[in-house]
A and B are shown apart, each in its own frame.
Chain A
Amino acid sequence: EVQLLDSGGGLVQPGGSLRLSCAASGFTFSNFAMSWVRQAPGKGLEWVSTISGNGGSTYYADSVAGRFTISRDNSKNTLYLQMNSLRAEDTALYFCAKEYYGYFDHWGQGTLVTVSS
């Protein structure tokens, strides 16, 4: 059974940094691209970033490019999102998701990031 466990969220001041993690199990992690998708309070889903299975290719939404960095450690079956220069508008529930040929077939439960002074 595929399981994705998101963690690392919390309260951070504007301009601060945070690193999210997603521990994966139940599938061959290195064979699949992985993504982060966020949802601001009361709003819809917004794709944030995707990384290929071997980590060699990364993609970012314009809203986070240059501030966020996606990475993975295939030896630990773990996905990361390093978030720098955080803004109030980055406040959201962040989901990790397993990507499969253009769609997301499994999702984590989400970890909440709040950017506020």
Chain B
Amino acid sequence: SYEVTQPLSLSVALGQTARITCGGNNIGSRNAHWYQQKPGQAPVLVIYRDDNRPSGIPERFSGSNSGNTATLTISRAQVGDEADYYCQVWDSNNWVFGGGTKLTVL
């Protein structure tokens, strides 16, 4: 079965750029999606189909996907961006999540 891997944690200075990666075998040939989850809340879709933002998601959030790595980029990181972030792909009627990355804004 297909697997995707994420770093457990990432720290970024306030106002700087955070890049959260999602690794998988030739993940660039699939659509990658990203969710933000804050403590005690349901996940929220922040990027779909590699690089598309749902309405209401700030332009500071962007995505890319190529080769064996999909990346969620958060520009000008804010304290409010502190959360767990999950990547997700679809594989033969299985919806696969990465293990999640905890983002800390210092």
Chain A contacts to B: CB under 8 angstroms: 35, 37, 44-47, 50, 59, 61, 95, 99, 102-110
Contact = CB atoms under 8 A, between A and B. Distances in A.
A90 B12 CA distance: 34
Contacts of B89: 102
16 contacts: A35-B95, A37-B97, A45-B35, A45-B86, A45-B97, A45-B100, A95-B43, A102-B89, A103-B88, A103-B90, A104-B35, A104-B43, A104-B95, A105-B45, A106-B45, A110-B42
Contacts of B31: 102-103
Given A44-B99, A102-B31, A105-B48, A95 B42 contact: yes
A108 B44 CA distance: 10
A50 B99 contact: no
B34 to A, nearest CB: 9
A76 B49 CA distance: 31
Nearest to B33: A103
Interface residues of B, number: 24
* Dominant secondary structure of chain B at its interface with chain A: strand
Contacts, number: 58
Contacts of B45: 103-106
Contacts of B90: 102-103
* Dominant secondary structure of chain A at its interface with chain B: strand
B93 interface: yes
Contact of B95 (A50, A106, A110): A50
B94 A59 contact: yes
Given A44-B99, A45-B100, A107 B44 contact: yes
Given A45-B86, A95-B43, A110-B42, A105 B54 contact: yes
Nearest to A59: B93
B48 A47 contact: no
Given A105-B54, A107-B42, A108-B42, A46 B94 contact: no
